[in-house]
Amino acid sequence: MYDNILLPVDGSPAAEQAIPHVFGLAEQYDATVHVLFVVNTNRDNVGIVGGTVLEALEQEGQQVVDEVVSRGEERGIEIIGDVTRGAPHEAILDYADDNEVEVIVMATHGRTGVERVLLGSVTERVVRTSPVPVLTVRASE
């Protein structure tokens, strides 16, 4: 059913909670897991500070990706890691399209009301615009 599963990560405890679900799916379907970290270049302050900060964020993202990749390899899962720049929800969808991903697995904080509107949600944007199924994992506090 699934040959390619996408796991966007950001190093947060919420994203961490999606990993067991992804690994379980990958083992069940003998699928390849794609781990993706997106350096958000839509933030106003990132544009102001320039390349050095972006490079530092990419290095941080690479560490997060490498750690998840290592854990997947220990379980015998075929796993690929990547770091990219852009608007997170757009970069996730572009990556999914470019890599023939059949399902995206993402954590959600479960925010509602004004908090959700003010903070925005990458997961919500992906869910609303993705042409492939999105499995959301509600992060516990």
What domains are there in the chain, each with its CATH number? 4-138 (3.40.50.620)
| pLDDT-flagged residues of the chain (< 70) | 43-51, 110-120, 141
| Residue 116, pLDDT score | 46
| Residue 58, pLDDT score | 93
Residues 6+ apart with CB under 8 A from 107: 12, 14, 15, 16, 17, 18, 123, 136, 137, 138, 139
